Structure formats: structure tokens, C-alpha cells
């Protein structure tokens, strides 16, 4: 990791990605961890998936998210930290009717930064699943009520 400050309105190297309708702005990248700011519009979601090689977390800054662990639903609001251990299937849903803002992180970084580079603007679900599998993220079928 390089020393320095990533400004609030900027991403590493000026990057910003549109991933499944959400805006991801990378803030920190090292071999050990990857952090990004996410703007999660109302009625968007990340389908259930598994990170077999990474622990993941979310710190909710504004709004409300629902996290589903194979039917076990947890609500997270401002100041809450969501913990998603590696190997544990989880989906992330914004069913609140308003935008949510949060900071995501994974450890170790592995291939997730490169995955987001590849997924920027991808709208085809099959291609999203294919690219994700190549980068150590395995998607499950989305729930019927997504």
C-alpha cells in the first residue's frame, strides 16, 4: 500500500465503477485488504454469493441495508458493521426505498479489485457470474423476491 490520503470525493487513481447499478469507489488497496465506498440506490442488490478466500465487511454510513445469510435476514443502519465470513453465502439488498452509503472491505484483497475493473458497466447477469467465478466470487441463484 502506498502512503497518502484518498480524498473523500475521489477513488484510487481517480477510479469509480458501476457494479450491478451501484457506484463503487476504491479507497485503499494492498495485498492484505481492499476498501471501497459504495452508493447503493434504493431497490438494488448484490445477489447471494460466496467469497471462498476472503472475509468481507460493511460499515453502513447512511441508509439501511438487509443482509441475507441463506434466509437469515439482518438489518443494518448507520454505524452498524456487517460481518460476512469467508465461505458464508450472503446477499446484500437495499429494500428501504432510499439510497444507502457504506464502506465495504475484504481481507485479503485477492482478486476483487481486478473483478470490479472487469465488471464496470456489465449488465448481463450471465457475464457477471462468469467473470466473478474467475475472480474467486461464486454467485448463487438470486432469490425470487429480490
| Domain that includes residue 129, residue range | 13-137
Q: How much is the pLDDT for 125?
A: 87
Write the pLDDT tens digit of every residue in 97-106.
999 999 999 9
Query: Tell me, what CATH number does 38's domain have?
Result: 2.60.120.10
In a domain, residue 1? The reply is no
Is residue 20 very low, low, confident or very high in pLDDT (cuts 50, 70, 90)?
confident
Is residue 142 very low, low, confident or very high in pLDDT (cuts 50, 70, 90)?
low
Write the pLDDT tens digit of every residue in 78-93.
999 999 999 999 999 9
In a domain, residue 145? The reply is no
In a domain, residue 3? The reply is no
In a domain, residue 6? The reply is no
* 146 pLDDT higher than 70: no
In a domain, residue 75? The reply is yes
In a domain, residue 7? The reply is no
pLDDT, mean of residues 10-33: 96
In a domain, residue 116? The reply is yes
φ, ψ (nearest 5 deg) of residue 60 = -80, 125
Write the pLDDT tens digit of every residue in 26-84.
999 999 999 999 999 999 999 999 999 999 999 999 999 999 998 899 999 999 999 99
Q: Is 3 left (phi over 0), alpha (psi -120 to 50) or beta?
A: beta
* 136 pLDDT higher than 90: yes
Residue 85's H or E segment, with its range, is none
Q: How much is the pLDDT for 40?
A: 98
Inter-residue contact 112 to 105 (CB < 8 Å): no
In a domain, residue 4? The reply is no
* 143 pLDDT higher than 60: no
> Exposure string (b/e) for 64-80, b if CB count within 10 Å is 16 or more?
bbebbeeeeeeebeeeb
Count of domains forming the chain:
1
Amino acid at each position: 500500500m502506498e502512503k497518502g490520503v484518498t480524498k473523500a470525493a475521489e477513488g484510487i487513481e481517480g477510479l469509480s465503477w458501476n457494479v450491478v447499478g451501484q457506484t463503487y469507489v476504491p479507497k485503499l488497496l494492498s495485498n492484505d485488504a481492499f476498501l471501497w465506498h459504495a452508493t447503493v440506490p434504493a431497490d438494488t442488490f448484490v445477489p447471494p454469493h460466496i467469497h471462498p478466500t476472503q472475509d468481507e465487511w460493511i460499515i453502513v454510513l447512511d441508509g439501511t441495508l438487509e443482509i441475507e445469510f441463506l434466509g437469515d435476514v439482518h438489518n443494518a443502519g448507520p454505524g452498524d458493521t456487517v460481518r460476512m465470513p469467508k465461505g458464508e453465502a450472503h446477499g446484500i439488498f437495499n429494500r428501504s426505498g432510499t439510497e444507502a452509503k457504506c464502506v465495504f472491505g475484504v481481507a485479503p484483497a485477492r482478486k476483487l479489485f481486478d473483478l470490479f475493473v472487469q465488471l464496470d458497466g456489465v449488465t448481463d447477469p450471465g457475464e457477471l457470474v462468469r467473470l466473478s467465478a474467475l475472480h474467486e466470487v461464486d454467485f448463487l441463484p438470486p432469490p425470487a423476491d429480490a
